[in-house]
Copies of this chain bind each other. A is one copy, B any other.
Amino acid sequence: MKNIFLKHPTKPVKVASKDLAELLEEMRYVGFQGRKLGELTEAWVSMLQEDKIVIFMGLAGAMVPAGMRRVISYLIRKRMIDVLVSTGANLYHDCHEALGRKHYLGTPNVNDVILRKHYVDRIYDIFANEKGFYKTDLWIQNEFAQSLEDGYPYSSREILHLLGKKLSERKTAKNSILVSAYRADVPIFCPAINDSSLGFSIMFANRKPSVAKLRKGKAQKRIIIDCLKDVDEISKICEKARVTAGIYIGGGVPKNYIQQAAVIASYQTRHNRSHNYGLQITMDSPQWGGLSGCTLEESQSWGKYDANAKIVTCYCDATIALPIVAHALMEKAERIAERRKKPSFRWEKDSFKLKFV
């Protein structure tokens, strides 16, 4: 008579020559977060094999300053994700690098008041040139924002599409998240775009009239980013799609926004539009009660994930987990991703179309 809880022995990992994808497969048979990293990779591969799935990625934390830009850009180009929801900061820093500027290796063991005197801005162990940021701000304010329409209520998605397009003209921008997304027809949402240098630089364009406009005697224009339009748009994707996945790098607004879209879609359609997959890489923890650290199981109680959804949380710094998972996906799933039916999105006045091509 077997013990029902003791069915599958662990398989301690043997150190031997193998590729990363194989190592991650083996790690599914150990314990703790190592197992979770293996399971998360496996679940990502599974979802790429789903017919007609829309894969959302939520991106929070200073991932671009920390050198994760080309990894995200790779995931977009190879269509391992279909929609990106990001904090404003990641997109601002992507824009900064797309304009040819850099982030620098630094250290947290430093006197920040001295850094201030040198106009060096610190992000944990990354340093940046504040004067360079100022140039990026001015480019957004003067070059980009001036091309926006007066009085038209933009969604963040529309703004970021135009920004990707604008940046795509620049040679320095080839590994840009914004440009890759523009080219791959991957929409980017930034629900709190106002909460970043990207947002406030556009706001400055409202305050400071461009010389050219004033010369022509035109009144100062008013750029509007309508955050309700945003939530309308993203939820429509969930309304139309039958199979959806959320992959979260960190928590924050991007995680909630993707999860909320499933709730809205279920309200609207009066059908179950819960996500079918949920993958989360985070360093927050459940016991503080916040959304960033809560389990994906908790979210099942809200109907954000289906009762049968495949959900995996891996508690790990994303600068470790993300490059490792991305390389394993490259080894194992690049061809699978190529064969996928990819969603194509079209927003027009009063309608939204989702096709799989």
Contact = CB atoms under 8 A, between A and B. Distances in A.
Given A104-B9, A108-B286, A32 B125 contact: yes
A243 interface: no
Contacts of A196: 256, 260
A319 B30 contact: yes
Contact-residue bracket for chain A: 35 or more
A275 to B, nearest CB: 13
A319 to B, nearest CB: 3
Given A30-B67, A195-B257, A124 B226 contact: no
- A65, A97, A326 pick with most chain B CB within 10 angstroms: A65
Contacts of A197: 260
A67 B302 CA distance: 20
A298 B65 CA distance: 15
A181 to B, nearest CB: 16
A110 B286 CA distance: 14
A206 interface: yes
Contacts of A351: none
A162 to B, nearest CB: 15
A319 B34 contact: yes
Contacts of A69: 12
A49 interface: no
Interface string A112-155: 11011011111111111110000001000000000000000100
A158 interface: no
A226 B225 CA distance: 5
A22 to B, nearest CB: 10
A8 interface: yes
A175 B71 CA distance: 37
B225 A203 contact: no
Closest 4 CB pairs of A and B: A34-B319, A30-B67, A31-B66, A33-B317
Given A113-B300, A207-B232, A287-B317, 5 more contacts: A20-B20, A61-B290, A123-B294, A192-B253, A227-B227
Interface of A: 3-20, 23, 27, 29-35, 37, 60-62, 65-71, 74, 89, 97, 102-106, 108-110, 112-113, 115-116, 118-130, 137, 153, 175, 191-197, 199-200, 202-204, 206-207, 222-232, 235, 250, 252-253, 256-257, 260, 264, 267-268, 283-292, 294, 297-303, 307, 315-317, 319-324, 326-327, 330-331
8 contacts: A3-B118, A5-B118, A10-B66, A192-B192, A195-B253, A195-B256, A203-B228, A252-B292
